[in-house]
Each structure stands twice: as structure tokens, then as C-alpha cells.
Amino acid sequence: MEKNEHYFYVVKCRDGSYYAGYTNDLERRIAAHNQGKGAKYTRGRTPVELIHHELFETQTLAMQAEYKFKQLSRKQKQMWMAKGDI
């Protein structure tokens, strides 16, 4: 059963890099990343640490936040996380 929750999230990988994604089950998704069953990018970079998440009313809004974050440079991502706003 699909949850009616839509999250944009950011994890910090073991190597210090960031991975951003969308999910409707945050706990399950973070567990999948840490079990090596998540995104290909995070598989060799476990464990990952959840450093940010936002709940949205719709999948579209959550995915737009993910897209916007992924367009930022690393420096911009660090500044965004420091102030908490895209």
C-alpha cells in the first residue's frame, strides 16, 4: 500500500558526497540505501546519513525540490543546507 507522504531527502555518503532523492517511505528508503539496495550511486558509499528531509503534499512538489537541489553546485548545496532553503 502506497503511503500518502512525499519526501525529498538528502543523505551524506561515507565519502562526504551528497545524494538527493524522492520517496514515499523515508525509513524504508534510508534502510535500503544502507543495505546496498538503494540507488546505484550510494551502493559503494555506505553507510549514508540522513541530513535533511522535507514532507510535501504531492509527489510532483517533492520531485521538483529534488530536481532543484540536484542542479546546484556542491558549494551551493552546502550553503543551502546551512540555511535550509533551496
Give me the pLDDT at residue 1, please: 43
Q: Tell me, what CATH number does 28's domain have? A: 3.40.1440.10
Structural domains counted in the chain:
1
What is the model's pLDDT at position 81?
A: 80
Per-residue pLDDT of the chain (86 residues; tens, 9 = 90+): 456 899 999 999 999 999 999 999 999 999 999 999 989 999 999 999 999 999 999 999 999 999 999 999 989 988 888 886 55
Q: How far apart are CA 12 and CA 19, in angstroms?
A: 6
Q: Distances from the Cα of 48 to the Cαs of 2, 11, 17, 54, 58, in angstroms?
A: 24, 6, 10, 17, 25
- Output the nine-digit C-alpha cell for 77: 548545496
pTM of structure: 0.88
65 assigned to some structural domain: yes
**Is 1 a domain residue?**
no
Q: What is the pLDDT of residue 80?
A: 84
